[in-house]
Structure 1
Amino acid sequence: MSQLFSPRSIGPLTLKNRIAIAPMCQYSAIDGVAQPWHGQHLGRLALSGAGLVILEATGVEAAGRITPDDLGLWNDAQEAVLADLLKGLRTYSETPVGIQLGHAGRKASTSAPWKGGRALTAEEGGWRTFGPSALPFRDDWHTPTEMTEADMDRVVAAFEDAARRADRAGFDLVELHAAHGYLLSEFLSPLSNRRTDAYGGAAETRARFPLRVAQALRDAWPRTKALGVRFNGSDWVEGGVALNEVIGFGRTLHEMGYDYLHLTSGGNVARADIPGSELGYQVRFAEAVKKAVPEATVMAVGMIIDPRQAEDIVTSGQADIVAIARAALDDPNWGHHAAVALGHDEGLPPQYERAGKSHWPGYGR
């Protein structure tokens, strides 16, 4: 058996293999409520052959959405539709499903990428944004309101409430979004956090609010379900987060009781020299955290597109789990095809078995 297709536990949750589908924003919700698009999107990923699927970044409050089209989980209507979606999915798939909870911070109130990806005006329905400091993401974006203690209290409570809603809706896992230049990532990075109070300055104080949110989420989310966190290994800009800070943050979260650490990068500044076309360009960060905190379960992501590449990452010990994103959109059967490439049964649903590779004339010759 290949390592990629061996079972792996994430806290109380056991995955059938080491493949996760990473969160990918769909920008297709209405008032934060999931739409039919989300049903087909999540449904086909739940049949992909992956061991875990994580639903896209979901705002814990209206001000925390990246765009007006983001999913939300702050009211009963949003919760009810997600619960129905999961209830239907459970009739045809046993794949565990998680949800990523986050807050966009200073990168909120923008249009979807295919609508321009720019800051919304008041006439377009733009809203007040918040951040650790009154620094805009770009010169032509909103200047965020520097968060007060009251603002922090509100956001912490929103994360707690969203976690309870996710539990009631039936999700198997929650992932805390502390990456990509959104609110918690903004606090962690010295590029976006210029505070001079107890929440800025040294790495330990920049991490104070993110860790407060993390602890509140840990307390609100059941220990019988898995809890993870996604955070940056680099800002790809001089003066950004340092690797020793990244490792320290990961170690603290592991000790706090987080079941996995998901390493990604970038997004804190508008311009950065990110080698995004390099295969596995972010694996180095997962490897560094895994080496420093070997008892933690670590997930790698970023241009992992080939099954043998994924197998090498887990067999070498660079990471315990690989997360697939764009490759899964391109090939919704990526997990099944990876199984064949690594010598396993394809594992298709019975309704699709007649289309499996072994049924094609000349297969294996």
Structure 2
Amino acid sequence: MSSMLFTPFKLKNISLKNRIVVSPMCQYSSEDGFANDWHLVHLGSRAVGGAGLIITEATAVSPEGRISPQDLGIWKDEHIEKLKQITDFVSEQGSVAGIQLAHAGRKASTFPAWKGRGQVPAAQGGWKTVSASAIPFLPNEDAPLELDREGIQKVIRDFASAAERSLKAGFKVIEIHAAHGYLVHQFLSPLSNQRTDEYGGSFENRIRLLLEIVSAVKSVCPDEQPLVVRISATDWAENGWDTDQSVKLSEILKNEGVDLIDVSSGGLVSYAKIQVGPSYQVPFSARIKKEAGAATGAVGLITEAAQAEEILQNGEADLIVMARELLRDPYFPLHAAHKLGEDIAWPIQYDRAKPAL
């Protein structure tokens, strides 16, 4: 094959058939954290469409870690059965199933966009949120509880337990969500972390929770289990988390056995000034790949086959992580291969519709 987009990529002993990744995208369609037929069809159709790696939406490691009451979860064994049905189907299509483990922190207990805005009142199923410090995301919101040491240890245990359930559910790749202003990111950034203990202040202290989560997850996984961490490379805000810190963190994560950095940005503060445009986050991925020596995934307004191919050819990323374009077109990988002149296999049920090169 002449295109990089359709060359395999290895994460430990897992081989992805191409470099196209379905980014985690919240569906806000669960009750009590349970996956259902919507998730089966949503994720399954992207597998039929040919993506190499398909990552679930942010999957809460605890009930209080959900972004909304309708978030997917993996905090109890009963969640495993339906998730296993989904991973089995994804695998049958030749794709790899990944799961993003998440805790929303102070951005938890919120309404999905189509149900309203802001925090969900307790009378409507909401709950008290937690964070690194008692600083709300928005000034008019209730302040979160500052996690004490016992609370921090519970979070770490919840991630480890969720990882164990993920393996039982058949997920081949685990991603830790440390981006977009959710709990781990809240510890990373000095804008949301004003602690004075060993989890706040210095860079080394602010990254401590993430490193402890990585260690706990790795302790319950086999050595060959691929581990990914998603980060926000910058807060897009003065005195916040920035790209220099992201490079430094990525090098540490690589040395701790993390196999790939999924590079996004933003989400921590409402006043961020984000310069959005095609491939706008790719420079962050490129810098981390070059300076930290880590494998990276690039995400953010990547919508065209040629654009994705160019990013890979330029050495700016190892994987192309796509979100909205794969909502618009679940079969983007099949169409992209045709545009790039690559003859890849289609599902046998659809083969009669495959265009000739």
- Pair 1:29 & 2:27 matched: no
Q: Does 1:291 align with 2:290?
A: yes
Q: Deviations over 1:74-131 (max 9, x none)?
A: 11211122112323444x4120010000100000011111111310112111101110
Secondary structure of 1:71's partner? Answer: coil
TM-score by length of 1: 0.95
Task: Give unpaired runs (5+ residues) of structure 2.
Answer: none
Q: TM-score, normalised by structure 2?
A: 0.97
Q: Is the 8 A contact 1:119 1:140 kept in 2?
A: no
* 1:84 match: secondary structure: helix
Q: Distance in 2 between matches of 1:316 and 1:132?
A: 38
Query: What is the CA–CA distance in structure 1 between the aligned matches of 2:325 and 2:313, rounded to whole Å?
Result: 21
How far does residue 308 in structure 1 lie from its aligned partner after superposition?
Answer: 0.6
Distance in 2, matches of 1:340 and 1:140, equals: 50
1:189 aligns with 2:201: no
Aligned to 1:275: 275
Q: Structure 1 residue 308 and structure 2 residue 306: aligned?
A: yes
Give the secondary structure class of the aligned counterpart of 1:247. Answer: helix
Q: Give the distance between the partners of 1:64 and 1:282, measured in 2 at CA.
A: 27
| 2:254 partner SS | helix
**Which one-letter code corresponds to 1:47 in the other structure?**
V
**Counterpart mapping for 1:194-343 below 5 A:** 194-276=194-276, 278-294=277-293, 296-343=294-341
Give me the whole-angstrom Cα distance separating, in 1, the residues matched to 2:90 and 2:176: 23
Distance in 2 separating the partners of 1:262 and 1:48? 22
Q: Supply the RMSD in Å over aligned alpha carbons.
A: 1.2
Cα contact 1:130–1:147 (8 A) shared by 2: yes
Q: State the 1:19 CA deviation.
A: 1.0
SS class of match (2:176): strand
2:58 aligned residue: 57
Query: For residue 13 of structure 1, what is the aligned residue in structure 2?
Result: 14
Displacement, 1:258? 0.8
CA shift digits 1:316-359 (9 cap, x unpaired): 0011111011000101110011101111125321111122222x
Q: Which residue of 2 aligns with 1:361?
A: none
For residue 355 of structure 2, the aligned residue among 346, 354, 357 is: 357
Q: In 2, are the aligned partners of 1:184 and 1:210 still within 8 Å (CA)?
A: yes
Q: Deviations over 1:10-32 (max 9, x none)?
A: 12211111111111110101100
Specify the SS of the correspondent of 2:160.
helix
Shift of 1:141: 2.1
Q: Please tell me whether the aligned partners of residues 32 and 70 of structure 1 are also in contact (alpha carbons under 8 angstroms).
A: yes
Q: Which whole-Å CA distance do the structure 2 matches of 1:49 and 1:80 have between them?
A: 24
Do the aligned partners of 1:218 and 1:258 also contact (CA within 8 Å) in 2? Answer: no
Q: In 2, distance between residues paired with 1:40 and 1:302?
A: 24
- Whether the 8 Å CA contact 1:337–1:346 is kept in 2: the answer is no
2:166 is matched with: 166
What SS does structure 2 have at the residue aligned with 1:159?
A: helix
Superposed counterparts of 1:106-185, under 5 Å: 106-185=106-185
Deviation at 1:221, TM superposition (A): 2.2
Greater CA deviation, 157-166 or 236-245? Answer: 236-245
Label 1:87 to 1:242 Cα distance change in 2 as closer, same or farther (>3 A).
closer
* % same residue: 43
Aligned partners of 1:339 and 1:346 also within 8 Å: yes
Unaligned runs of 5+ in 1: 359-363
